[in-house]
Amino acid sequence: MLRYVPVLMIALLVIPVTAGLGMVLLPAFGYLPVLGGEQLSLAPWQALFSQPGLWRSVAVSFSSGLASTALALLVVVLFLAASQGTLLDRSLRRLVSPLLAIPHAAVAFGFAFLIAPSGLMARLISPWPSGWQSPPDALIVNDPWGLALTFGLVLKEAPFLLLMSLAALPQLQADKRLQLARSLGYAPTIAWLKVILPALYPLIRLPVYAVIAYATSVVDMALILGPRLPSTLSVSILGWFNDPDITRRFMASAAAVLQLGVTLAALISWWLLEQLVRRFSRHWLTNGSRRRGAATLTVAGRGGLALTSLTALAALLGLALFSVAGFWRFPEFLPQSLVLDHWQRSAAMLAAPLVTTGVIALVATGLATLLVVAALENEQRQHLHPRRALWLLYLPLLVPQIAFLFGLVVAAEQIGVRPQLLLVVAGHALFVLPYVYLSLGESYRRLDPRWLQVAQSLGISRNRAFWKVRLPLLLAPLLTAVAVGLAVSIGQYLPTQLLGAGRVTTVTTEAVALASGGNRRLIGVWALVQAGLPLIGFIIALALPRWLGVTQRESNR
């Protein structure tokens, strides 16, 4: 049984993605019999290329994706280089998981409330020193070049890349390497960049690629922070697919293929950038320079991540403030009164989406966790260490959601599955599974095999040893992986929207739908609920092992 799990898992990841891509590729060239497209043609492409502002959309998607990834990686790398062992390091490390758990949409709303012309930052500097008595007339959120979107993305990508780096660092003997470089006279920050980073980067390359793919094609954040008329390519595609004029589907499919091309172009550009950096840093690595620039880099490294983390926290506080704000005139920093009206009025409407969100998250995460644990157990028993299969695991994260989810709906309809809750759950599991695997895999492999050998030598069967020894020892990382899975599911916008055909409403789809309305107090309530939900999972994951009296010694080793 167990030995078929990896095949099953890969199939569950690969088949939906390829089927979805196939059912987008065909209509992109005019073939979709259900809609009367019987012949291959280039008409969809001609229609697409005659859309006004198309190239602007493409440019914004490409540039915001690449720039946000580069910025987030820079912030994380400099932070790690500059802050090892400092108090800042330890406190930010504790913040990283909660920050990562907050859904993209909630962060985007909070960030928008911070930087908007009538937002908290403008209020902070008004009326003095800015002199503004009314909100400045400037397009800050939804700016045409996607700068707000870029910075919003950085807020979410930095914690992800930090967590991935922290997970990879223990494999590198980082402490010893740093001691050695420092004993050779290198300042700590320079030492880290010269001896740790070149070894670390290959280990976080896949996560970086996943970030690029995500950032070039994100929908929910772009709906909230991105430009309008034209919007980013991904948002335009969503509009075309949902157009009442059903023949627009062909053009939308062509656009989805174009999105795939934009993401691919971004990935290739990044790869070229990697080669350039490698070539130009080769001399610097061994030129013997030990201290030059250390002070500047140290300040930048500590400041950068502290700034992004503080911004994310301030964004959440902003959400909270708006959700209870009464009358609030512009230059005043705080509302005149705090009221619970918006919460009371939303309570009734929150109930149903909350239940749906919870059910989808629990079932999808449960399924994914079951598969991942089975695959990891099989890996241990067969003494495998899959490196190449890791690429397949990343497939749903590397292919833009908007490029294959529409096709997936069409493909599902072909085999008689209508969009509904079950399809949504399956779709969520597709994105939850890789994260659960990434979160649990390293702890699972690092558990000392002698624990199980001892158990078996005491006459306990392999299966009983799994339940009696391995699972209790891995309880803490297992619960964390579940919490990560729940958080990923709760934050999903596009899969819920598309695979549920708009009829499955979760807290996230409701919150994003409020974006166009512009009622900040209502948005504050919904976004805060959305942000709070995943935290519950993390709190349980932290508290349960202690409550059960299982220490975390093993996972800390």
Partner 1 sequence: MNDAATESLTLEKVCIRLAGQALLQVNTRIAPGEVLTVMGPSGSGKSTLLAFVAGFLDSAFDAQGQVRLGEQNLLALPAEQRGIGLLFQDPLLFPHLSVAGNLRFGLPRHAPDKHRQIAQALEQVGLAGFENRDPATLSGGQQARVALMRLLLSQPRAVLLDEPFSKLDTALRQEMRALVFGQLREAGLPTLLVTHDEADAAAAGGPIIALG
Identify which of residues 189 and 439 has a Cβ nearer to partner 1 in the complex. 189
Identify which of residues 418 and 557 has a Cβ nearer to partner 1 in the complex. 557
Q: How far is the CB of 183 from partner 1 (least distance, A)?
A: 4
Identify which of residues 181 and 361 has a Cβ nearer to partner 1 in the complex. 181
Residues 228 and 55: beta-carbon distance below 8 Å: no
Residue 467: burial class (beta carbons within 10 Å; 0-12, 13-18, 19+): exposed
Beta bridge partners of 32: 37
Identify which of residues 199 and 515 has a Cβ nearer to partner 1 in the complex. 199
- CA-to-CA distance for 353 and 366, rounded, in angstroms? 20
Residues 394 and 210: beta-carbon distance below 8 Å: yes
Identify which of residues 288 and 549 has a Cβ nearer to partner 1 in the complex. 288
Identify which of residues 105 and 191 has a Cβ nearer to partner 1 in the complex. 191
Helix or strand or coil: residue 343? helix
Q: How far is the CB of 91 from partner 1 (least distance, A)?
A: 16
Tokens 């061994």 appear where?
286
Residues 520 and 322: beta-carbon distance below 8 Å: yes
- What are the tokens at 501? 């055909």
Q: How far is the CB of 208 from partner 1 (least distance, A)?
A: 17
* Single-letter code of the amino acid located at 132: W
- CA-to-CA distance for 75 and 127, rounded, in angstroms? 33
Identify which of residues 285 and 421 has a Cβ nearer to partner 1 in the complex. 285
CB atoms within 10 A of CB 268: 10
Residues 404 and 21: beta-carbon distance below 8 Å: yes
Identify which of residues 274 and 332 has a Cβ nearer to partner 1 in the complex. 274
Q: How far is the CB of 84 from partner 1 (least distance, A)?
A: 12
Q: How far is the CB of 295 from partner 1 (least distance, A)?
A: 13
Residues 331 and 127: beta-carbon distance below 8 Å: yes
Q: Where on the chain is the footprint of partner 1 (CB under 8 A)?
A: 173, 176-177, 179-188, 191, 194-195, 198-199, 285-291
Q: How far is the CB of 192 from partner 1 (least distance, A)?
A: 12
Tokens 């697409």 appear where?
48
* Single-letter code of the amino acid located at 374: A
* Single-letter code of the amino acid located at 146: G
Residues 213 and 263: beta-carbon distance below 8 Å: yes
Question: What's the Cα-to-Cα distance from 286 to each of 78, 88, 186, 399, rounded to whole Å?
Answer: 19, 30, 12, 38
Identify which of residues 91 and 173 has a Cβ nearer to partner 1 in the complex. 173
Q: How far is the CB of 453 from partner 1 (least distance, A)?
A: 25
Beta bridge partners of 37: 32
Residues 509 and 493: beta-carbon distance below 8 Å: yes
Q: How far is the CB of 200 from partner 1 (least distance, A)?
A: 10
Q: How far is the CB of 451 from partner 1 (least distance, A)?
A: 23
